[in-house]
Amino acid sequence: MQYTTSKLRDNIFRVLDEVLETGVPAEVKRRGKLLRIVPVEPRKKLDNLQRRHSLKGDPEAIVHLDWSSEWHP
């Protein structure tokens, strides 16, 4: 995302936190030149994974459930 220096000044902590969380560089335009704020260590792709809940129990019991009362043609 690109910011002007005044917008960066108003939101510096939010911008820095966003760069750290997403790994996406922030660009700042100053006197016609472009500066980039980037994290030193890039984020790993696996850091973006969300924790998923899984079913616990016997998989065979789930396969053999009787769903005939729920199904309507």
Domains of the chain by residue range: 1-41
- The tens digit of pLDDT for each residue in 2-41 reads 999 999 999 999 999 999 888 899 999 999 999 999 998 8
Tell me how far the alpha carbon of residue 32 is from its chain's centroid.
Answer: 31
CA distance 1 to 57: 46
The CATH architecture annotation of domain 1-41 reads 3-Layer(aba) Sandwich (3.40)
Alpha helices in 12-67 (DSSP H): 12-22, 59-63
3-state helix, strand, coil in the chain (%, to 5): 35, 20, 45
pTM over 0.95: no
Radius of gyration for the chain, computed over Cα atoms and rounded to the nearest angstrom: 24
- The tens digit of pLDDT for each residue in 45-65 reads 787 788 888 878 888 888 888
